[in-house]
Structure 1
Amino acid sequence: MLFAVLARKAYARNLQYRGSHLLHNVVSAAFGFIYASIWSGLGSGDTALGDYGHQGMLGYIAFNQAILWVTLFTTNGLGLEQSVRSGQIAVDLMRPVHLFYQAMSREWGQVLYQLIYKFFPIYILYFFIFSLKLPTQLAVYGWTALALVMAAYISICINYLIGVAALWTTESRWFYWVNYALSMLLSGFFIPLEWLPRWLRTVSYCSPYPYLLYYPTRIYMQFEHGSVVLGALCWCIGFTCVCLVATSAVRKKLEVQGG
């Protein structure tokens, strides 16, 4: 099966850089400690932290920081911008496999790697340091896993569209950073969405970003029912259609900058 082959090769490629990725884990964990310390300071004394409370806020920050590697830190443009620059994109389009399927399959291998070598180590570290509580209902784990899969897929689709944009703009890296900035603000990473100003909260709820971090975390913490993933499913279907249309347009307009 081609999907399994491409995903396995991407996973194996990442295994060669485990030492470097260990440093990423240390830095990511350090950032999480900083955020947790800030919220601990804000939640001290008579200051309330809404439905979360002090310990709940620590859990929110810990899970958010860990799932970043699964749902948000996707390869910039799925590597398509480099393919355009080198001319490799022409070869990819000639293959008897859909371009979106190729890029998506490779990225799932990286997502699996980051789940095992980044998400689990970071969250286990936080679990013991912050004395976090685990959900007691088995269904919560199932809904959370489904929410994370859909979140990863949405992120893959967004980055695929960023990558194919290089066919028209040559340089699509700035799209990646715009997307990164919006995701940090509108996904509930820095602050739970219910605490945002009303207008910004409305913008966030109308975007796919809450399904990347906010809703998976809320499901895991049992503040949301798993049925909220239906919204993520709608975004997945919508993005799939857009990616297929974009690929069709790419086949009609191919401008190779190198090779």
Structure 2
Amino acid sequence: MLFPVLVKKAYARNLQYRSSHAINTVASGIFGLIYVSIWKGIGDPGQAGASGYTLQNVIHYVAFNQICLWITLFITNGLGIERSVRTGQISLDLMRPVHLFYHLMAREWGQVGYQLLYKSVPIYFLYLWLLNLPVPYHAATWLWTVTALVLAAYMNICINYLIGVTALWTTESNWLFWVHFSLSTVLSGFLIPLEWLPDWLQRISRLSFYPYLQYVPTKLYLGMEPPSLLAGSAVWSLGLTVLCLAVTAAVRNKLEVQGG
């Protein structure tokens, strides 16, 4: 029962700040509309673009990517591990009779759930109204999309856990989060489809986990790719899980408390 309680507590903690978080939601929705306006300004609604995309496809692609951000990318930097190292809290976390990775992951799922309901969902309805975002009529499409989003959120939790635990060796891991964020804006297909990247950058992207954070969920939602892409999400999720567990074992043998 511990992990459901951690999820619930993390969700309840965020509820205390709904009014201030509403500003982020409004700003995120506006940013998405700005991206769409840029594409409307440079696109030709009467012609198909590269890789068969039309202007309407691109608008829907960019809009759904913006909706996904709060689930697949915007989570706690390093799961808060760097701060725990600096305060010495990490020593208590490791003493608890619960695995550190499972503990922090459960807590983060509470935040992801909150951001889904109070950020992604409102932006989704806003774009349904303003951008005529298509709504899938087949239950299978919703199933594949939700599965892709859950796996994407889980992968990002794993990635941020790995970023956070580097603070045990460097005491400063925040820069890694921003490197990850910067790479994601390009390699995940956030602003433009992967097909439009240079060939060499496409190859790098497709060899990484980044397309499974944004590109795959969006393409599945729009019905532009088969659900077989989820196999890649599952493989990366499994690989990152193994890596997180291995790193946690190493962390227990390497603990240097700063300020604790």
Poorly superposed stretches of 4+, deviation over 4 Å: none
CA deviation vs aligned residue, 1:175-220 (integer Å, no higher than 9, x gap) = 0000000011100012100010000000000000000000000000
The aligned counterpart of 2:73 is 72
Q: Secondary structure at the match of 2:190?
A: coil
Residues 1:192 and 2:183 are matched in the alignment: no
The aligned counterpart of 1:214 is 215
Residues 1:145 and 2:112 are matched in the alignment: no
The aligned counterpart of 2:119 is 118
Change (3 A) 1:257 1:68: same
The aligned counterpart of 1:63 is 64
Alpha-carbon distance in structure 2 between the residues aligned to 1:182 and 1:236: 19
CA deviation vs aligned residue, 1:81-107 (integer Å, no higher than 9, x gap) = 000000000000000100000000000
Alpha-carbon distance in structure 1 between the residues aligned to 2:188 and 2:205: 7
Contact 1:76 1:163 in 2 (8 A): yes
Q: How many residues align?
A: 259
The aligned counterpart of 1:99 is 100
Alpha-carbon distance in structure 2 between the residues aligned to 1:118 and 1:26: 9
- Which runs of 5 or more structure 2 residues have no equivalent in the other structure? none
User: Which sits farther off after the overlay, 129-138 or 71-80?
Assistant: 129-138
Residue 45 of structure 1 and its aligned partner are, at CA, apart by 6.0
Alpha-carbon distance in structure 2 between the residues aligned to 1:191 and 1:150: 21
Residues 1:6 and 2:6 are matched in the alignment: yes
Determine what percentage of the aligned residue pairs are the same residue.
59
Contact 2:45 2:56 in 1 (8 A): no
Question: Quick one: which amino acid aligns to residue 16 of structure 2?
Answer: Q
**Aligned-residue RMSD, C-alpha:** 1.0
Alpha-carbon distance in structure 2 between the residues aligned to 1:42 and 1:75: 35
Alpha-carbon distance in structure 1 between the residues aligned to 2:31 and 2:96: 42
Alpha-carbon distance in structure 1 between the residues aligned to 2:156 and 2:49: 29
User: Which sits farther off after the overlay, 221-230 or 99-108?
Assistant: 221-230
The within-5 A match list for 1:164-243 is: 164-243=165-244
Residues 1:15 and 2:15 are matched in the alignment: yes
The aligned counterpart of 2:82 is 81
Contact 2:101 2:161 in 1 (8 A): yes
Change (3 A) 1:163 1:41: same
Residue 74 of structure 1 and its aligned partner are, at CA, apart by 1.4
User: Which sits farther off after the overlay, 126-135 or 142-151?
Assistant: 126-135
Question: Quick one: which amino acid aligns to residue 34 of structure 1?
Answer: I
Question: Quick one: which amino acid aligns to residue 24 of structure 2?
Answer: H
Alpha-carbon distance in structure 1 between the residues aligned to 2:45 and 2:22: 36
Residue 44 of structure 1 and its aligned partner are, at CA, apart by 2.4
Q: TM-score, length-normalised on structure 2?
A: 0.97
Contact 1:49 1:57 in 2 (8 A): no
Question: Quick one: which amino acid aligns to residue 6 of structure 2?
Answer: L
Contact 2:62 2:192 in 1 (8 A): no
Q: Secondary structure at the match of 2:237?
A: helix
The within-5 A match list for 1:19-30 is: 19-30=19-30
Change (3 A) 1:30 1:99: same
Question: Quick one: which amino acid aligns to residue 61 of structure 1?
Answer: V
Alpha-carbon distance in structure 1 between the residues aligned to 2:147 and 2:254: 36
Question: Quick one: which amino acid aligns to residue 222 of structure 1?
Answer: G
Residue 49 of structure 1 and its aligned partner are, at CA, apart by 2.9
